[in-house]
Amino acid sequence: MANRTETRTERAHRTIHAGGEWLAASSGATREILDPADALPFTVVAEGDEKDTDLAVAAARRAFDTGEWPHTPVAERAALLRRVAGLLVRDREELGLLESRDAGKTVEEGRVDIDCVADAFRYFADLVAGEAPGRVVDAGSADVHSVVVHEPVGVCAMITPWNYPLLQASWKIAPALAAGNTFVIKPSEITPLTTIALIDLLVEAGLPAGVANIVTGPGHTVGARLAEHPDVDLVSFTGGLTSGTKVAQAAAATVKKVALELGGKNPNVVFADACETEEGFDTAVDQALNAAFIHSGQVCSAGGRLIVEESVRERFVAELARRARKIRLGRGTEDGVECGPLVSAQQRAKTEDYVASALAEGAELRCGGKRPEPSPQRPESGYFYEPTVLDHCHREMRVVREEVFGPVLTVETFRTEDEAVALANDTEYGLAGAVWTADAGRARRVAGRLRHGTVWINDFHPYLPQAEWGGFGKSGVGRELGPAGLAEYRESKHVYQNLAPKPVRWFAG
């Protein structure tokens, strides 16, 4: 890996990849990438703009219209995806560390991310390799051969977030390539490094020039241009609701396909019967911590809304807060650290504002609510914030309605099953949720009534590449992963062949 690392270091500011070449920004602009653990810069990337975006789109357009990739046999496309998975496994340690330094998460979280990325590439390779070439349609006549086939959409624009840079990129890139598309990806301008590294791996795996293109730069220039670009056939965006709405509006003028994953405000519903045994209580509390505080709560599916039955509320919240105080904060690369910093000063300030508003609106602070004391593992300049539990919350509070994307857990209570479901569904989002109960019938009833794209029963956070991911309501449009995730990157075509053509004689002349 040393030689490839040296190559990436030497090219430093040349992080735009278009038509098979690594380029500097046309303007010469660069951006420093900061380590959120100490706010110090540790590398530099190109700061692309509309001109760079147009160059990358043109390369992707040529590669699709005149290149070989869209016509490459499915078995060969699948084999390339599997080679990429193998390269990810080979480079797991380096990429996991890079993800940790870039996004602030622990190295172990980074390693798990790389494993999941490799799984996504393998899954879509297996999915396309095992498909029938088309669906035969019964036209009701032996003289007609009718089949529905699937073809690539074309040039795909991908805009990915800062919290899971490589994972979110893989959920788009793997199915797009499996389907035969070309693409231009814009990673978050603050966490672009592992996506840049993935382009290197795609090239190493043998992907033809122009199929994979990347432009590093901000959303208001690069992202906006991708969304509106007339030569882009599909735009897939993962990020916040406000930005996603702008992407959809920009894409509407050219009537391109749009897929949006816009986050959530995810309920974690705990019934008293889940806590009747010490083991059940311990598990539910432990999972509530995981739901809210993994990656400092910077997860679109974070269980930031604890909705707990009133009879067990005090015991549950007291134990939850006790354990939350013991979470070891620090630099993600340090041994023993369980939770890293927030990704930026802006994200920490946003979290602080939500906590302040909640307290002003009557919430009770059970733990956290402040920056931790500095230590060798937690430099004062880093973007650290203590895991925070806010009790006595209600739906009218901003912190309950809006996505915080920080280590903040709000507590609401209920008395009846109907009230629990009503609270869990009382959100404009609908990405994910969970129900904890020892009653199998109740588990199925509640899961069936929750208006969320993923519902966990007695668990939180696991996902499977073979199962669709996406949300109801303002959590977005379309799905990633699973067969539907592949379908997003395809067009369906009906081919109708008359095997015995003859005159219709509709017109007498």
φ/ψ bin of 209: left (φ > 0), alpha (ψ from -120 to 50), beta (otherwise):
beta
Asked whether the predicted pLDDT for residue 345 surpasses 60, the reply is: yes
Dihedral of alpha carbons 280, 283, 289, 295, sign: negative
List pLDDT tens digits, range 351-382: 999 999 999 999 999 999 999 999 999 999 99
Contact of 8 with 314, CB cutoff 8 Å: no
Q: How confident is the model at residue 3 (pLDDT cuts 50, 70, 90)?
A: very low
- pLDDT above 90 covers what percent of the chain? 97
**Three-state DSSP class for residue 352:** helix
Asked whether the predicted pLDDT for residue 448 surpasses 80, the reply is: yes
Which residues, listed in sequence order, are joined to residue 259 by a DSSP beta bridge?
Answer: 236
Q: How far apart are the C-alpha atoms of 56 and 18, rounded to whole Å?
A: 5
Q: What confidence score (pLDDT) does residue 413 get?
A: 98
Q: What confidence score (pLDDT) does residue 509 get?
A: 73
- pLDDT above 70 covers what percent of the chain? 98
Asked whether the predicted pLDDT for residue 103 surpasses 80, the reply is: yes
List pLDDT tens digits, range 218-237: 999 999 999 999 999 999 99
* Number of residues assigned to the chain: 509
Q: What confidence score (pLDDT) does residue 11 get?
A: 66
Task: Say what the pTM is.
Answer: 0.96
Spacing of C-alpha 407 from chain mean position: 18
The mean predicted confidence, pLDDT, of the chain is: 96
List pLDDT tens digits, range 153-206: 999 999 999 999 999 999 999 999 999 999 999 999 999 999 999 999 999 999
Looking at the annotation, which residues are catalytic?
Answer: 261
Q: What confidence score (pLDDT) does residue 8 get?
A: 53
Asked whether the predicted pLDDT for residue 9 surpasses 80, the reply is: no
> Which residue, 447, 483, 450, is CA-closest to 464?
483
Q: How far apart are the C-alpha atoms of 486 and 505, rounded to whole Å?
A: 43
> Which residues have a Cβ under 8 Å from the Cβ of 419 and sit 6 or more positions away?
none
Q: What confidence score (pLDDT) does residue 508 get?
A: 83
Of 153-157, 170-174, 394-398, 504-508, the poorest mean pLDDT is in 504-508
List pLDDT tens digits, range 192-222: 999 999 999 999 999 999 999 999 999 999 9
Asked whether the predicted pLDDT for residue 54 surpasses 60, the reply is: yes
> Which residues have a Cβ under 8 Å from the Cβ of 38 and sit 6 or more positions away?
331, 379, 381, 382
Q: What confidence score (pLDDT) does residue 10 get?
A: 57
List pLDDT tens digits, range 263-292: 899 999 999 999 999 999 999 999 999 999
Q: What confidence score (pLDDT) does residue 13 get?
A: 82
> Which residues have a Cβ under 8 Å from the Cβ of 183 and sit 6 or more positions away?
60, 155, 156, 157, 158, 172, 173, 176, 177, 211, 212, 213
* DSSP secondary structure letters along 127-159: HHHTS-S-EEE--S-TTEEEEEEEEE--EEEEE
